[in-house]
Structure 1
């Protein structure tokens, strides 16, 4: 008898708690997403109309600057945050070249970022951040230690030494110039510019059957929630847009495509070229914790998986950052931000390809 009473009481409490949770969820929907959900549509037939495209340059709290050596075919892109912004990251590839990424781990004493740097040059390109740090200090940006300012700067590099001149890489001077440009004006330029200058894709067969890529941008708005993505596509794999291959490994005569995935499977005992990395950053006005930002970066990477095949290999250094701009003003669910970011990621990857197409003759001249 006591057992029945206990079970009945437990069921009543459980039902009551579910009712309270449902009520809270309904009351928070408008506040969290900035979307009027008072009149919900159950069949979701108009879901595509909820998300609207947004120019990347309209994102608040970020300014982009570039510098490149067009002769050497390498460069730097700096994402400058006038108000230092919280960030996190996930490293998904087997061969990253990066600076200070561990400080973005939720278990660390994470400090807001003053700038994020993308560059070419592989590990040599990490020198670009020295110039960025100097530039930020001169302009009064950084963490005040009591003994001086220490700008918080993270960086990821792509391997572009196989394109252009391998003995000329991004350095302190180029990083300083890109930072100056970012502080002076916002220039989120797509294609063969900045860190995307020497980017290529489709490399299981080597550079002779690869194609040019670059840096791409995209952004979207869902109610008051805004998400933007910047990505430098320097992948081992092929690139797809809506399931259709738009760049990647070609035939020897460069007149048709070959599957990079099939090439990897066919040459299963061969060493792949380790000169590949897709680096991306998600920027949002959502107020998220460092742990939530890390999850957003993780979810956003699914957009890479839909667009790049193969991806996250040991021959790639794929890395995704997520940044809450100016501390973030919009309360939003981490899943919503992550899923929207994954969709925007696909758009940005396609933009990187479409904005960087060059003639075969020019490409072959640079390898």
Structure 2
């Protein structure tokens, strides 16, 4: 399998939306799957002064997904009629009661990679910083029903390290952007048992 993955590697932009781990992903499940929307896979990268940091995120979050620049909900729990975005955070703050949650059915996972020269300790710190990106793009996030996990790797190909402040800022930024792209690239899906999951474009 490892050799097959290496043989399939390319410089093309990675597939996004309903692919791989994103095929069965859904978001906005706090008030039940019948009010959820389609999740997916997204990616993003930023290059600053010759160093690149990128993220690949599979978003199957319990909470809503937000535009990280505006904090506006772009996919998540819908109103009871299914026609509009609800805003889970506001609904919970106003006393709405969540549906019983199934353990092991929600998580956002991903990898943050850089060509900077980093140590193992620095890689761990970048993974921690990348979770700030999840907090900017998912709400609620890091719930007891989510298994949110991020990994970090460094290739060292850039031959330099611009400092952890820069790298951590980039890690959080690309994670937030990739998470939003995961739902923006997703397409609506109707399951075999009739559950319809609209995509972000349907309610834009």
Same fold (TM over 0.5): yes
In structure 1, what is the Cα distance between the partners aligned to 2:20 and 2:149? 18
In structure 2, what is the Cα distance between the partners aligned to 1:192 and 1:314? 25
Higher helix share goes to which structure? 1
Larger radius of gyration: 1
2:8 to 179, 184, 193: 184
| Aligned match of 2:202 | none
2:128 to 289, 298, 301: 298
- TM-score (norm. length: structure 1): 0.48
RMSD: 2.2
Matches within 5 A, 1:136-175: 136=2, 139=3
Matches within 5 A, 1:229-268: 229-241=55-67, 242=69, 243-264=71-92, 266=95
* Cα 1:287/1:185, change in 2 over 3 Å: closer
More displaced 10-residue stretch of structure 1: 261-270 or 287-296? 261-270
Matches within 5 A, 1:195-344: 195-241=21-67, 242=69, 243-264=71-92, 266=95, 271-274=100-103, 275-325=105-155, 329-344=159-174
Using the TM superposition, give the Cα deviation of residue 272 of structure 1 relative to its aligned residue in structure 2, in angstroms: 2.8
Using the TM superposition, give the Cα deviation of residue 264 of structure 1 relative to its aligned residue in structure 2, in angstroms: 4.5
Count of residues paired in the alignment: 189
1:250 counterpart SS class: coil
Using the TM superposition, give the Cα deviation of residue 273 of structure 1 relative to its aligned residue in structure 2, in angstroms: 3.2
Q: Is the 8 A contact 1:293 1:323 kept in 2?
A: yes
Unaligned 5+ runs, structure 2: 197-204
- TM-score (norm. length: structure 2): 0.84
Unaligned 5+ runs, structure 1: 1-134, 140-179
* Cα 1:209/1:269, change in 2 over 3 Å: closer
